[in-house]
Amino acid sequence: MKKINIGLIGCGVISDIYLTNCSRFEHLDVIAVADLERGRAEQKAEEHGIPYVLSVDELICHEEIDIVLNLTPPGGHYTLCLQALKAGRHVYVEKPLSASIQEGKELLATAKKNGLLIGAAPDTFLGAGLQTCRTLIEKGAIGQPVAATAFMLKRGPENWHPNPAFFYQFGGGPMYDMGPYYLTAFISLMGPVKRVTASAGIPFLERTIMTGEDAGKKIPVQTPTHISGNVEFKSGAIGTIITSFNVLATQTPFIEIYGTEGIDFCSGSEHVCWAGKA
């Protein structure tokens, strides 16, 4: 079996789970890592037995690499993905694909033009929980879906992340960071979308880092941190989604689908599902 060689860019917090999971597949081999802070790349290479520590440009141009795995902050997704595609590399990127619709469309068009594949997180809709929900809906367990809700209401990442500034810059915020999980689940469960409307706000113009070496440092907030949206599906069903970095506690569910004869909902980190007649 020919292995697929991966070059990973961005050795932050999320890189560990990618490196661990990639090692579980016989046909995948992460052969290079890169990061603007070379020390972080060297640390990950040592921890996971990766042979090459390269600059970003070197990694993208490395002739042995088949796929560039882009785990950089959202604001840099477009530029690096485009560079990798133009260099003839397939691309997989953390969510979001890009911070603008126009840039996202350009990436898709570039990949198609060059005969390459580009994919983006999240893939969680393929998990057992959400697939079970979809099966129940398709079998009519809750009748005809008429509405749906999704909530991601949390305190900001400055409370736990050692380098949280990028969450509050262009391409950050709760909708770009966590919204893709919920919107992807919505579309998988409810079908294509006809129209979206939303309101957004920035209740706090400054955040304070609470952990790590930068604890106490202030972060200017440059992107909305509370977004409330309505999603009109082509089926006629209406969805409501709210994402926020301003909520200290909540009892709202993660995702609920309301049908004419019951409900289908996902709760907890593993999206445990239940459906039944009302």
CATH architecture type of domain 4-120 = 3-Layer(aba) Sandwich (3.40)
Average pLDDT (208-236) is: 95
- Output the pLDDT for position 64: 96
Provide the sign of the torsion angle of the four alpha carbons 257, 174, 236, 123, taken in this order.
negative
Query: 67-70 and 90-93 as β-strands: parallel, antiparallel, unpaired?
Result: parallel
Q: Given a cut of 50, is residue 269 above it in pLDDT?
A: no
- Output the pLDDT for position 267: 59
- Output the pLDDT for position 278: 44
Helix (H, G, I), strand (E, B) or coil at 216: coil
In the predicted model, what is the mean pLDDT of the chain?
A: 92
Taking only the tens place, the pLDDT of each residue in 4-43 is 999 999 999 899 999 999 999 999 999 999 999 999 999 9
The residue that leads in pLDDT, 124 or 109, is 109
Q: Given a cut of 60, is residue 276 above it in pLDDT?
A: no
Q: Which residues contact 51 (CB under 8 A, 6 or more apart)?
A: 31, 32, 45
Query: Which of the four CATH numbers 3.10.180.10, 3.30.460.20, 3.30.360.10, 2.60.120.260 does domain 124-277 have?
Result: 3.30.360.10
Average pLDDT (80-99) is: 96
Q: Same fold for the domain at 4-120 and the one at 124-277?
A: no
- Output the pLDDT for position 266: 67
Q: Given a cut of 90, is residue 261 above it in pLDDT?
A: no
The CA-based dihedral angle spanning residues 160, 165, 170, 175, taken in that order and rounded to the nearest 10 degrees? 10
How is the chain split into domains, by residue range? 4-120, 124-277
Q: Which of 248, 166, 159 is nearest to 211 (CA)?
A: 159
